[in-house]
Amino acid sequence: MTVDQIAKHVSCDLAVTVQLVHGEATFSDGSSGNVGLRVTHVLRREAPGWRIVHRHADEQMKLAPIASHILE
């Protein structure tokens, strides 16, 4: 799998990352193929580091280009 960082925001105790993850996977039916996911993580600072408190992923292949979501 390869991971491309798209966005990152960090404050004192909260962080959000958005990444594109690409690679090949084997599925439960035994087939395999390419996958592309847009993954968002929300992290909270806890001793001694950071903890993921929310993760969301959706199939990047079915998404419209990012530019089409930006309002001007």
- What are 29-41's pLDDT values in tens digits? 999 998 889 999 9
Higher pLDDT, 66 or 39: 39
**What pLDDT score was predicted for residue 56?**
96
Q: Does position 19 have pLDDT exceeding 80, yes or no?
A: yes
Q: Does position 63 have pLDDT exceeding 60, yes or no?
A: no
For 2-64, give the CATH class.
Answer: alpha beta
Angle at alpha carbon of residue 20, lines to 9 and 10, rounded to 5°: 10
**What pLDDT score was predicted for residue 59?**
84
Residues of the chain with pLDDT > 90, as a percent, come to 64
DSSP-derived letter for residue 71 is -
